[in-house]
Structure 1
Amino acid sequence: MTPPDPEQPGAPGGPGDSDSPGTPGCSHAPDGPNGPHDPGDPCVPDGPGGPGGPGRPGGSRGAPGPGRGRPVRAPGPRASVEDGGWSLSVREESAEVKGRSVVEHHVLKSLLGAWALAACAPEEAAAVEEHLGGCGDCAEEALRLREAVGLLHRPDSLDLDPGLRTHVLDGCLERRPPRIPVPEWAAAYDAETARLDALLRDMGDSEWHAPVRLRWFAGEDATSRRTTVAGVIAHLLSVDGLVAVALGLDDPLGDAGARADRPTPAARTEAYWRASHFPPTRSVRTPWREQTHALVRTVSFTGEGTGGPTVPYGDFELPLPDAMLDRAFECWVHAEDIARAVDYPYGPPAPRHLHGMIDLAARMLPGVLAARRRAGLASPARARHLVTAGEPGRSLRLEIEGQGGGQWLIPLDSPGAVGSAEHEVAHVVLDGPEFCRLAAGHVAPREAVAGQVGDREAIRDVLYAAASLSRM
């Protein structure tokens, strides 16, 4: 009889022998290589998945595996590289380098609407923009959405409309006319001083010391004077004082102004700056604004007529209505200087006020041209006979385009002559604000003309005369 093979199942001491000591399939047999079985040590049978089975790396029959003494954990499913179309190394490296996980296409596409409205978080916006560089369909969709958003609303300025004050006052005055109205020739000064005061109201202390360069035209060349925002307001205060003194109000220069004999605007300004122990500060706004209110109240009592005192400017005089227009013009010009210094937008005056300023400059051109001719800075008169006051003579047509514009015939040979279309020898076309900046000395005469035809010498004389209207 053949003795039983210990390696066969069911044989005594074999793997399937239930009578053999130890656990079936366990290597902890009393005489096994691992010694007796410890009841507290879980025993895993050999075989597939066991410590010694072929399913465990490095395992061998009868030898302990690397997971001996721990429960078996089945590994999770592994994503296929082919599902994404990238190699695994590329995906892992891209996510690691960019510091963020790869976002799926459908997620990025759902963010296009929010991206077009600029409502995405910074990380989302960066992911969308990176995706648009490689996806043509999403790029086209994003472009369509951005165009649609542009049609929904346009960006509006947060600043109030410069004409809002005028509209509100007009509406109020239509309902209840004032008992003592502001004359039309003083309305421009009232509006421009209010606009400048609105600009000054919200300025910080440091902005009052921002550098400003006052520019004007003297003779044949442009000149300038350096000051600050507060210095500009001090300049307006001192020159407006000419009108105040003519109306019987207090002179802001005090005794220094009373001792001066027919001072020019520049001389009054220099005197005010010298009288200040320190450079002007924002405190100069209060006396300037109080003086503007006093001027408007005082001229309102003169009625709607054009009568009243003349205002001396040193070398010449202006009627009170023209002086108020002149002060409105200079207030606007220097308000632009201040706005440029503090990097703030500032628009031109209302069209009807701008028209009055242009009309004043056009009416002053013949006298300035005659003064330049006497100084040898303009060509001599070319009239065949002496043109007396009220007679027509050679003329230049000055056409101002845009709001507040119009046409003026400027006599060339005598300040008392009358412009005549029959004697027109030249035609000049300029934009309204550009002509005003020329008259303020902020634009060179050779750079101001938009269109010109006719006598070149007459055109040059008139343009330089317009620049000579400027002063500090």
Structure 2
Amino acid sequence: MKGPDEWDGRELPGSPGERPRIPSPRSAAEDHGPLPDTPPVPVADPVTDPFGTLPDAGPGSEPPAAPLPVPDPDPAPPHRILKSLLGAWALSACSAEETAAVEAHLTDCASCADEALRLRDAVGLLHPADSLDLDPLLRSRVLEGCLGRRPARIPVPDWASPYDAETAKLDALLRDMGEAEWRAPVRLRWFEGERPVERETTVAGVMGHLMAVDGLVATALGLTDPLGTAAPPGTPDPLIRTETFWRAADERENPLAIHAPWRDQSYALMRQVSFAGSKVAELAVPYGDFRLALRDSFLDRAFECWVHAGDIAEAVDYPYVPPAAGHLHQMVDLAARLLPSALADRRRAGLAAPPQRLVEAGAPGRTLHLEVEGNGGGHWYIALDSPAALGTPDRTVAHIALDSAEFCQLAAGHISPEEAAAGQNGERDAIRDVLFATASLSRL
């Protein structure tokens, strides 16, 4: 083996014949002092660091633990919690933090956004701008609409429709009243002779009065008399029947007990005339010293039901509306048709001027033109000299113009003839007699 400076004569790569240059051996690194400590080359672990990002501690060392995730300082609540808060959010009952979380969630969750919209619409129904009380005329309007599309097999007669509507309105009013309101004082007013009359009772007393007088119509139709064996014999006078019912009702402890019997009686009356139809329209119903055909009796009962329902509503501070225009017109028409007979009764009692002597029998007498303005109004010509005659426009000697509401208040005895703000023209005596005859139509 040759030393570093010896050459064995073989040709080495390079220029031909040129002695090759061999570098001198380098000194070891340890000859210049100790070696520095150098960190080992990191080796990536395929399990703990698949991407080669973690340093290796070297052979035999344990790989460092994976770093823990940094928690979000304000994590969003899960979906199920936010969904459970939608009801409170719709009612504006959430805290500020909950409200912010819910509204942020609604921008990302379509199902919760739809549910929130439905809940907000439902909350709007809980705070309506108008009253939730049902319109008392709702029943009559619904019936009218239904009957207009599909006639009932057993329709209600036209002359009984006002009674059906007014009893339904009064029934709706009574359903909202408590026992204390049933004991509220009610002032009943009517007109007798030349002066107004008043009597105080309670709401229960008013309903007893209506039930007792409606019993006259019930017995005429073959139904049970609400007074039973206590009904006074002889002439069926409405006042006597009412006082009899009041005396029997004094023993009752609960004033609400009158509501159900009155409602059942009104239902029975409507069923009876609906089945009978036009066959009973002219059936006579006695009212003491006078009689009314059944068709007119139902209008009379509808009018009194409306008037006394207004008395009850005034006593308990409850709003009440007048009848529908068509029904009110029928009631006004009945009062206008009864005026000649009422005028004749006042003449027999010496309370009105005598009739004008007719030149020949059967000749038309004087006529008063009654004009009722407003809802349910119209024009009527009242015969002044004979209750059996018909008024004619060519014999008009006086004219009275009244608002429909004021005419009804006058016919109910709630205002006196002197208080009626009537437009008047013509014979003063005829005008006065007709106004007082209108007030005399009222009774308890």
Normalised by the size of structure 2, how large is the TM-score? 0.69
Partner of 2:245: 272
Distance 1:443 1:277, change over 3 A: closer
Aligned to 1:248: 222
Maintained 8 Å contact 1:387/1:393? no
Aligned mates of 1:268, 1:465 — CA distance in 2? 24
Match of 2:193 among 219, 225, 242: 219
Deviation at 1:194, TM superposition (A): 0.2
Structure 1: stretches of 5+ with no match in the other structure:
1-153
The answer to whether residue 206 in structure 2 is matched with residue 239 in structure 1 is no
Structure 2 counterparts to residues 393-408 of structure 1, below 5 A: 393-408=365-380
Verify: 1:285 aligned to 2:293, yes or no. no
Please give the residue correspondences for 1:445-456 in structure 2 after superposition, counting only pairs within 5 Å: 445-456=417-428
Report whether the alignment pairs 1:260 with 2:266.
no
Alignment of 1:144-163 (within 5 A): 156-163=130-137
Aligned-partner SS, 1:172 = helix
The change in CA–CA distance for 1:254 and 1:260 in structure 2 (over 3 A counts) is same
Given the alignment, which residue of 405, 408, 413 partners 2:385?
413
Larger relative contact order, structure 1 or 2 (CA cutoff 8 Å, min sep 6)? 2
Post-superposition offset of 1:384: 3.7
Contact 1:211 1:227 in 2 (8 A): yes
**Does the Cα contact within 8 Å between 1:387 and 1:417 map onto a contact in 2?**
no
Q: Unaligned 5+ residue runs, structure 2? A: 1-127
Q: Which amino acid aligns with 2:436?
A: Y
Offset, 1:157: 4.7
User: How far apart, CA to CA, are the structure 2 residues paired with 1:304 and 1:254?
Assistant: 28
Aligned to 2:433: 461
Separation in structure 2 between the aligned mates of residue 239 and residue 264 of structure 1, nearest angstrom: 9
Between the aligned partners of 2:187 and 2:357, the Cα distance in structure 1 is 41
In structure 2, the residue corresponding to 1:381 is in which secondary structure?
coil
The amino acid of 1:272's aligned partner reads: F
1:340 aligns with 2:311: no
- Corresponding residue of 1:101: none
1:287-309, CA deviations, whole angstroms, 9 ceiling, x for partnerless residues?
Answer: 00000000000011222456342
Q: Choose 189-198 or 165-174, whichever is displaced more.
A: 165-174
C-alpha contact 2:356 2:365 (8 A) present in aligned 1: no
Distance 1:361 1:353 in 2: 13
Pick closer, same or farther for the CA change 1:276–1:306 going to 2, 3 Å: closer
Mapped to 2, the partners of 1:454 and 1:463 lie a distance apart of: 14
**Correspondence for 2:38:** none
* Alpha-carbon distance change, 456 to 387 in structure 1, aligned in 2, over 3 angstroms: farther
State the partner residue of 2:60. none
C-alpha distance 308-397 of structure 1, shift in aligned 2 (>3 A) = closer
Q: Tell me the equivalent position of 1:426.
A: 398
Letter aligned with residue 271 of structure 1 = T
Query: CA offsets, 1:164-217, max 9 Å, x none?
Result: 222211222233321111000000000000000000001011000000011100
Partner of 1:132: none
- Identify if the C-alpha distance between structure 1 residues 387 and 398 changes in structure 2 by more than 3 Å, giving closer, same or farther: farther
Assess if the C-alpha contact under 8 Å between 2:417 and 2:436 holds in 1.
Answer: yes
The alpha-carbon distance between structure 1 residues 450 and 156, as it changes in their structure 2 partners (threshold 3 A), is farther
Q: Distance in 1 between matches of 2:358 and 2:413?
A: 33
The residue type paired with residue 371 of structure 2 is: E
- Residues 313, 180 of structure 1: CA spacing in aligned structure 2 closer, same or farther, 3 A cutoff? same
- Change in Cα spacing, 1:161 to 1:460, as seen in structure 2 (3 Å) is same
State the distance in 1 between where 2:146 and 2:402 align: 36
Aligned counterparts of 1:219 and 1:450: Cα–Cα separation in 2: 20
Paired residues for 1:346-357 under 5 Å: 346-357=320-331
Q: State the 1:403 CA deviation.
A: 1.4
Structure 1 stretch displaced more, 156-165 or 439-448: 156-165
CA distance in 2, matches of 1:223, 1:277: 23
Contact 1:239 1:265 in 2 (8 A): yes
CA distance in 1, matches of 2:129, 2:367: 47
Aligned-residue offset at 1:395: 0.6
Aligned equivalent of 1:64: none
Could you say if the C-alpha distance between residues 196 and 329 of structure 1 is closer, same or farther in structure 2, counting changes exceeding 3 Å?
A: same
Equivalent residue of 1:419, what SS?
Answer: coil
Q: Deviations over 1:321-373 (max 9, x none)?
A: 00000000000000000000000111110000000000000000000100100
Percentage of matched positions with identical amino acids: 63
- For residues 291 and 179 of structure 1, what CA distance do their matches in structure 2 show? 22
State the Cα deviation string for residues 248-304 of structure 1 (Å, max 9, x = none): 0000001122x5112211110001111234267011000000000000000112224
d(CA) in 2 for partners of 1:452 and 1:421? 16
Amino acid at match of 2:208: A
Which of 360, 365, 370 lines up with 2:334 in the alignment? 360
Whether 1:329 aligns to 2:303 is: yes
CA distance in 2, matches of 1:464, 1:423: 21
Distance of aligned partners of 1:429 and 1:308 in 2 relative to their CA distance in 1, 3 Å threshold: closer
* Partner residue in 1 for 2:155: 181
* 1:446 partner SS: coil
Structure 2 counterpart of 1:422, which letter?
D
Is residue 471 from structure 1 mapped to residue 443 from structure 2 by the alignment?
yes
1:387/1:414 contact within 8 Å kept: no
SS of equivalent to 1:392? coil
2:273 pairs with 1:299 = yes
Q: Hey, what's the Cα distance between the residues in 2 that align with 1:188 and 1:387?
A: 39
Counterpart mapping for 1:178-217 below 5 A: 178-217=152-191
How many angstroms apart in 2 are the aligned matches of 1:196 and 1:229?
12
Letter aligned with residue 415 of structure 1: P
Tell me the residue number matched to 2:415: 443
1:128-167 to 2 correspondences below 5 Å: 156-167=130-141
CA–CA separation in structure 2 for the residues paired with 1:329 and 1:396: 24
Counterparts in 2 of 1:362 and 1:308: CA distance versus 1, 3 Å: closer
C-alpha distance in 2, partners of 1:211/1:421? 46
CA RMSD in angstroms, aligned pairs only: 1.6
Flag the 1:459–1:308 CA change in 2: closer, same or farther, 3 A. Answer: closer
